[in-house]
Amino acid sequence: MNDMDQQRDVLITLKRSVGAPGADALKEWVDRAMKESIPVHDIRCALIQGVETLRHRLMSSDFGMPDFLLSIDSVLDGLDMLSGMEDAGSMPDTPIVIGVVKGDPHDLGKNIIAGIYRAYGYRVVDLGRDVCSDAFVQGVALNGAKILGISAMMSTTMSAMKDIIRDVKAKYPETKIIVGGAPLNEVLARSYGADAYVESAVSVIEQTMAILDTD
Amino acid sequence: MNRFTPLLDQPFWEEHRRKTACSLGGKSLSGSLYKVLDQDLDTLHTLVHPQMLYAEYSINALDEYIHTQAGSIESRMFSRLARGCSPDCSVIFMVATLGRGFDTYSSLIKDLSRQFMVDTAGSVCVEMAADLLQDHLLEQAEQQGKDVGMRFSPGYCDWDLSGQRLIFDALDAGTIGVSLNDYDVMAPSKTISAAVLMATDVPVKVPCRFCERDDCPWRRLPYGKAGSE
């Protein structure tokens, strides 16, 4: 078996280790891939392919959300092993800024979306919760964000989204804005000026890629 | 004003464990996650100390809304329930909280899978605690020859979330460590506030009976069901 075949086999096994039983299996195969001198970009792609397989299983109800998130956790641990090891052909830098609106303490949904974005190779700047409009605008400015994600879980806090979107679009019209949260729906999100509404974590990547493609 | 501190015994915690696992997918949950969940539940069961308050208010006037001495419940659906009760109908406001121990513990969790499971466990627990209070209210009512309806909370049905302020002030919920921010969001996070009708005759216990909405995720009555609940 030559080196290329060996590397290919390692990547295939790495991809299959995403979601496999055993907390350390994925990390062991990332370590193996690094020792085989497989380019970081290829290792990341294998991890993303593994997550994508599980996401489709989640969509078909063949896999539960808790186990999907466990897989995301292990992929993020694997990606941490690669941090600082950039090489030519690394994932494109598509900064995403994300946060929960002012007055709203609920951040689980936002945390999940942020984790999924990271697992798919996006650079995420998490502003946390209880974030005012100025902080969202500043976050977009400082990071050159192409995507802004805004979350709200209460009917009393979601109305702030309209002002945030207006303020961000006024200064950075090229930034795409995605919103999510229990009290929202597609119609309301569009009326606020959002570019996309995310109903669940399952579809966030597809919807993000779709609005980036509209440029 | 009444404080209720339930005794949470072994059967309660076993039921909590079962209901949490069921909410998370039951048998579809992997063995490794079950172990993690069990460990988190073992810890939560030592940290969680539910506290509850309730108080009864007579109804001063009943039109499209329910008007009490504490303020008005601005829900046409709930008012319809009250108008169907016997004339001795009163409103009991209640608040139940798991306390800050839960929030402190969950804030330390970094793994998304654990955050998700612990959050579910907290939601299940506060609902179970509120059910215990509901049972207590029913016992109290039956001692007076009365009945109670199911709890009705601000932010659901046609009762705007701003109704939290009414309940918060009516009970002085700060005495059990519950606060309300400028957006009517309660803290600690696992806190439930609600109103319950009490009367000699409570023929309809939930407004779902009169609701024509066919996609409500919080419906508490099967579609097409007629008669009392």
Q: What is the ipTM, given to two decimal places?
A: 0.91
Residues in chain A, how many? 215
CATH (domain of A145)? 3.40.50.280
In one-letter notation, the amino acid at residue B89 is C
* Partners of residue A101 on adjacent β-strands: A131
Confidence of residue B224 (pLDDT cuts 50, 70, 90): low
Pairing assessment for the beta strands B66-68 and B51-62 based on DSSP bridges: antiparallel
Confidence of residue B229 (pLDDT cuts 50, 70, 90): very low
Residues 6+ apart with CB under 8 A from B207: B75, B77, B78, B80, B81, B152, B157
Peptide bond into B188 cis (omega under 30): yes
- All residues of chain A having their beta carbon less than 8 Å from the beta carbon of residue B116 are 65-66, 69, 108, 112
In a domain, A87, yes or no: no
The verdict on A103 and A65 lying in the same domain is: no
* Partners of residue B191 on adjacent β-strands: B97
Does the pLDDT value for residue A92 go beyond 60? no
Question: How far is it, in rounded angstroms, from Cα B7 to Cα A215?
Answer: 60
Return the axis-axis angle of helices A160-171 and A133-143, rounded to nearest 10°: 30
Structural domain count, chain A: 2
Domain ends where: A82, A106, A133?
Answer: A82
The verdict on A72 and A129 lying in the same domain is: no
Q: pTM here?
A: 0.91
Confidence of residue A97 (pLDDT cuts 50, 70, 90): very high
Q: What is the pLDDT of residue A23?
A: 67
The verdict on A49 and A102 lying in the same domain is: no
Residues 61-100 of B with CB under 8 A from A: none
The verdict on A188 and A126 lying in the same domain is: yes
Q: What is the pLDDT of residues A23-53, one digit of tens each?
A: 689 999 999 999 999 999 999 999 999 999 9
Q: What is the pLDDT of residue A215?
A: 53
Question: How far is it, in rounded angstroms, from Cα B187 to Cα A187?
Answer: 30
The verdict on A68 and A132 lying in the same domain is: no
Q: What is the pLDDT of residues A140-172, one digit of tens each?
A: 999 999 999 999 998 888 889 999 999 999 999
Residues 26-45 of B with CB under 8 A from A: 28-33
Does the pLDDT value for residue B131 go beyond 70? yes
Q: Is A45 on the interface with B (CB under 8 A)?
A: no
Q: What is the pLDDT of residue A89?
A: 46
The verdict on A8 and A72 lying in the same domain is: yes
Confidence of residue B228 (pLDDT cuts 50, 70, 90): very low
Section B86-110 average pLDDT: 96
The verdict on A59 and A119 lying in the same domain is: no
The verdict on A105 and A208 lying in the same domain is: yes
Q: What residues make up the domain containing A63?
A: 3-82
Does the pLDDT value for residue A5 go beyond 50? yes
